[in-house]
């Protein structure tokens, strides 16, 4: 990765933030809980998770420790070492506001037919969206 390319570094910041958010939520931690462990404000954690602020190396190390993962997992190096790139697409998608909440709501629907209807609705809405507003796509 060419770290001099601003677009690539922004992607990395978004991926790190998405991984931090996913892991924090998996552990049942609030942004305030993580902020306390990192010695920053919860607003700063919000900025990290959105990819709005870069995470300093010392903070990245502290975050990995607080979230019980490796630094390489937070930056996506585990997938790069094995040649798998699928996780990065998922974490970039989950970085969008509301994406994780949408997934949690989908998983909470007990009826398989209702889940299929929800998915069909989402796909129809994606098709109806103007092309310049759709990032990625539904597979």
Burial class (CB in 10 A: 0-12, 13-18, 19+), 100: middle
Q: What is the pLDDT of residues 26-67, one digit of tens each?
A: 899 999 999 999 999 999 999 999 888 999 999 999 999 999
Report the pLDDT averaged over residues 59-80: 88
CATH topology of domain 6-96: 434 Repressor (Amino-terminal Domain) (1.10.260)
Closest CA to 77 of 88, 63, 62: 88
- Does the pLDDT of residue 78 top 80, yes or no? no
> What is the pLDDT at residue 134?
47
The residue that leads in pLDDT, 43 or 22, is 43
Taking the CA atoms of 8, 14, 19 and 20 in sequence, report the sign of the dihedral they define.
positive
pLDDT score of 102? 87
Q: Contact 126/134 with Cβ under 8 angstroms?
A: yes
Residue 138 reports pLDDT greater than 50: no
Q: Each residue of 87-127: pLDDT tens digit?
A: 666 777 777 778 888 888 888 999 999 999 998 998 888 88
């Amino acid at each position: 990765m060419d770290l001099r390319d601003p677009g690539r570094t922004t992607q990395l910041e978004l991926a790190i933030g998405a991984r931090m958010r996913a892991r924090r939520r998996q552990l049942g931690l609030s942004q305030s809980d993580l902020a306390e462990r990192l010695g920053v404000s919860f607003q700063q954690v919000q900025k990290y998770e959105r990819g709005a602020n870069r995470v300093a190396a010392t903070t990245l190390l502290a975050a990995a420790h607080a979230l019980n993962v490796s630094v390489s997992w937070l930056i996506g190096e585990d997938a790069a070492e094995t040649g798998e790139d699928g996780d990065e697409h998922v974490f970039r998608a989950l970085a969008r506001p509301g994406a994780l909440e949408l997934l949690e709501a989908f998983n909470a629907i007990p009826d398989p037919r209702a889940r299929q209807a929800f998915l069909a609705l989402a796909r129809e809405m994606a098709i109806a969206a103007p092309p310049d507003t759709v990032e990625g796509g539904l597979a």
